[in-house]
Structure 1
């Protein structure tokens, strides 16, 4: 496969943040400088998508602190995502960086070779973003995302404000949501209400999600 859709559902919903995975750099509020992909070109296209499943927060994010965002395919809800049209090599390099591995390294090469054979879900390892999920197709091209293989085993953990702001910014960019709709969506995700009331969440997002109009 030449081009595929990578479906982001966490902070990569925001294009400015996702560019750090493509061309390198450190996102505002993040604690990591990303090396970037071997091919740093921007996505050929982007598209808002909604798929079955849900958003959950758990584990411990090394970049943001607090819980990390994961996709739960078994959740009885819907996940709001943003699809980026990338080369399969770029998607593999993005996934490698999620696991703090080198773009173009063994993991990235293995994943790129595996993609055509992933029909549903495939775990390359026990790491937090080592499971690839095929989410169907969009415009006749396959959609993939990455998550934890056993999301149900993760204890819910509240995410930090900086992380939530990037997610909110991406939801506004991709789906055109209002801040109130973003608050409802995020507060329903397991983990968020452990650290956030709807009012506190709205206050935290007003400067981030609201800035995009």
Structure 2
């Protein structure tokens, strides 16, 4: 079965996402990923806009600082990138996001029937069906309780991944990137517009 995995954080950048498939360590990260059982690259990828809101929270041991989460119940939009992968690859990406070894398949029946399925209390264990594209379901994952997750500002390395992904996927201009990121909850006061603009130009 093929599914579209909708990414809204650092995986907006294709090269970064491919580390979940092929393994390896992304630029700026402190973690090496084992990769998926099936290392075939995504069949396709597309720009996508989700109806909920992306925000920054938690404290990532991989990046330091906050990382992106999705709140389906808040006003959006969220700019995303959908990768066409197998259901097995989707399961392996989700496992690695939870700092687990890939290898177990996911039963997607619940999320496909009810549009949401909480696998557990972990950071990315709430599966969401966010649409359909060319006959295949569009799935993403996030924290089961966005309101309970502490907001936290991201690091420059993490933001650079998102900026590169927004440019790659949506062709966003610098002003569009700035407006989008500055409106994200959790960005933090240390990322005022001029400093964020400096990161874009750097």
TM-score (norm 1): 0.91
In 2, are the aligned partners of 1:157 and 1:194 still within 8 Å (CA)?
no
Asked whether 1:115 is paired with 2:114, we answer no
Q: Which residue of 2 aligns with 1:50?
A: 49
| 1:122 alignment partner, SS class | strand
Cα RMSD for the two superposed structures: 0.9
* Cα distance per residue 1:176-206 (max 9 Å; x no partner): 1112111110110011133310111111122
Q: CA deviation at 1:156?
A: 1.1
Q: CA deviation at 1:117?
A: 2.8
| 2:147 alignment partner, SS class | helix
Q: Which runs of 4+ in 1 moved over 6 A?
A: none
Alpha-carbon separation, structure 2, partners of 1:166 and 1:72 = 20
| 2:166 alignment partner, SS class | helix
The total of aligned residue pairs comes to 200
Q: Which residue of 2 aligns with 1:18?
A: 17
TM-score (norm 2): 0.96
Asked whether 1:99 is paired with 2:74, we answer no
Q: Which residue of 2 aligns with 1:183?
A: 178
Q: CA deviation at 1:29?
A: 0.5
Q: Which runs of 5+ in 2 are unaligned?
A: none
Q: CA deviation at 1:44?
A: 0.1
Q: CA deviation at 1:116?
A: 3.1
* Cα distance per residue 1:112-134 (max 9 Å; x no partner): xx213313111111110111111
Alpha-carbon separation, structure 1, partners of 2:140 and 2:42 = 15
In 2, are the aligned partners of 1:164 and 1:205 still within 8 Å (CA)?
no
Q: Which residue of 2 aligns with 1:173?
A: 168
| 2:188 alignment partner, SS class | helix
In 1, are the aligned partners of 2:43 and 2:85 still within 8 Å (CA)?
yes
Q: Which residue of 2 aligns with 1:62?
A: 61
